[in-house]
Amino acid sequence: MAVDGLSVQLTAPNGRSYTQPTGLYINGQWVKSDGGVTLASTDPATEKHIVSVQSGSKSDIDKAVAAARAALKAPAWKSLQSSDRGRLLYRLADLVDEHRETLATIETWDNGKPYTVALNEDMAEVTGTLRYYAGFSDKVFGQVMELSPDKFAYTVREPVGVCGQIIPWNYPLSMAAWKLGPALACGNTVVLKPAEQTPLSILYFVNLIAEAGFPPGVVNIINGRGSEAGAALASHPDVDKIAFTGSTATAREIMRMAAGTLKNLTLETGGKSPLIVFDDAELDNAVEWAHLGIMSNQGQICTATSRILVQEGVYRRFVDAFKQQIREVSRVGDPFDEATYQGPQVTRAQHERILQYIDPTVFTDVTPGMRIFQEEVFGPFVAIMPFRTEEEAVELANGTQYGLGSAVFTTNLTRAHRVARAVESGMVWINSSNDCDWRIPFGGVKQSGIGRELGEAGLEAYSNVKAIHVNMKSKL
């Protein structure tokens, strides 16, 4: 699909050769950026340059938005039966399965996450999410409201329109699937800007979108810098919605930019999620989940349970067992090596940002006023502190600006549910951590975001409810 000069043949460190597109994808075509600017992609494991890709400017965003607007009105998409939209999404998921080794290779090369994780977790998340929303394509219905013998009303669910989607680097393709799945199932068109640290996998994925049969202009992909391409998208007057995943600081900027035309917004932002371990918890289970909850994906997870609160009676035992778990499981190494649990952080800048908070990365006896208790670090970095009572645990859990995830470990059934209700967060795990699922709504409260992705709730972010009043009386 890629035209001359906008694709290169690459061989990844695991020996896999493939064709890497490097262009912008607008209206079903690979094109160069208007500004002639490129973005360098780097292998975080070696810090070697992989390839440079086109970096979109404001005028490229203008073209992509115009293409998305035209596609929204074109019969090829607008008049497509809802079941056929679903079929396109199913076909896309099948193509991802066929190309999963290549996609996982690119993800590992560009992002640094272990290959086994990219292959078995990220790609499963992509296909699972696409298939879940494929099934919803022909099940997004309105309601009928009977008011009197002379009047009724009905609602229809319409696409929101042209959706700008801005995504982060920690799960490049999964984050794209979370946003594309429901947007396309509901009949929207999209301009997506990936994170500048991980521009590659989505470009390969685009060819699969075309092969699946989506009409030109339905999905447009513009790599580029947040301050340029991202800002142009968030402030564009002809974009109806912005869906963003990233930091809380950037989300504030985006809200400001989107305010100009009062855009519909979904924001998934940062977190400092608590994991509470009560004296009566199954300690080994708590230790294993607590480890996964902060150390998987190099700690680069917005819902990472990065504050561990442990009841006094088991505090020392928990801390010792947790450190032991890290020694046994968190093997740091080459992301293409199967034995590696922990690859490099996504960039040197991110690595250094984490180290600002100091080394090593397990802090015990933390107090609530400390920065490491309040600020999102976004790395394999955890603050552990003891508590006495359930009341104190809930107060500590709720003592930050964030409210994304949370976890509770206890064998006391009523306490588990009571604490789950009392914690201020969009998600609570009882006796687990971060085992997210595309069938379950995902999102935050407080400064962790607005709106929900995934699950049936994720459809609400991509459809407007129109109410149609029907009067059957001929005289007022």
Quick check: 55 binds ligand NAP (CB under 6 A)?
no
Stretch that binds Mg ion, among 98-106, 171-179, 193-201, 375-383 (CB under 5 A): 193-201
Instruction: List the single partner that 110 binds among Mg ion, ligand NAP, none, CB under 5 to 8 Å by kind.
Output: Mg ion
Which of 100, 113, 179, 193 lies at the binding interface for ligand NAP (CB under 6 A)? 193
CB-wise, 284 or 352, nearer to Mg ion?
352
Quick check: 125 binds ligand NAP (CB under 6 A)?
no
Q: Quote the tokens at residue 16.
A: 């896999």
Residues 297, 281: Cα–Cα separation, whole Å = 25
Short-list 415, 440, 116, 436, CA closest to 273: 436
CB atoms within 10 A of CB 364: 17
The answer to whether the beta carbons of residues 3 and 189 sit under 8 Å apart is no
The answer to whether the beta carbons of residues 405 and 427 sit under 8 Å apart is yes
Task: Extract long-range pairs of 456-461: CB within 8 Å, 24+ residues apart.
Answer: 456/136, 458/133, 458/178, 458/181, 458/182, 459/133, 459/136, 459/140, 459/157, 459/182, 459/185, 459/186, 461/160, 461/182, 461/241, 461/243, 461/264, 461/266
Stretch that binds ligand NAP, among 55-63, 85-93, 116-124, 166-174 (CB under 6 A): 166-174
Q: Fill in the per-residue mask, 213 to 242: x = in contact with ligand NAP (CB under 6 A), - = not in contact.
A: ------------xxx--xx--x--------
CB-wise, 166 or 243, nearer to ligand NAP?
166
Residues 402, 313: Cα–Cα separation, whole Å = 28
- Write down the least CB distance from residue 80 to ligand NAP, Å: 29
Q: Quote the tokens at residue 414.
A: 């009523």
Q: Quote the tokens at residue 57.
A: 């400017």
Instruction: List the single partner that 72 binds among Mg ion, ligand NAP, none, CB under 5 to 8 Å by kind.
Output: none
8-state DSSP, 215: P
Quick check: 196 binds Mg ion (CB under 5 A)?
no
Cα angle at 265 between 126 and 227, to 5 degrees? 85
The answer to whether the beta carbons of residues 349 and 377 sit under 8 Å apart is no
Instruction: List the single partner that 227 binds among Mg ion, ligand NAP, none, CB under 5 to 8 Å by kind.
Output: ligand NAP
Q: Does 107 qualify as catalytic in the annotation?
A: no
Instruction: List the single partner that 378 binds among Mg ion, ligand NAP, none, CB under 5 to 8 Å by kind.
Output: ligand NAP
Which of 195, 218, 308, 319 lies at the binding interface for ligand NAP (CB under 6 A)? 195
Which of 107, 110, 228, 240 lies at the binding interface for Mg ion (CB under 5 A)? 110
What are the angstrom distances between the C-alpha of 422 and each of 10, 180, 336, 392?
52, 33, 42, 12
Instruction: List the single partner that 195 binds among Mg ion, ligand NAP, none, CB under 5 to 8 Å by kind.
Output: ligand NAP
Instruction: List the single partner that 246 binds among ligand NAP, Mg ion, none, CB under 5 to 8 Å by kind.
Output: ligand NAP
Please give the residues from 378 up to 397 whose contact with ligand NAP meets the rule CB under 6 A: 378
Stretch that binds Mg ion, among 90-98, 109-117, 152-160, 249-257 (CB under 5 A): 109-117
Rg (CA), the chain: 23
- Write down the least CB distance from residue 253 to ligand NAP, Å: 5
Active site residue ranges: 268
User: Which residues bind to Mg ion, rule: CB under 5 A?
Assistant: 41-42, 110, 197
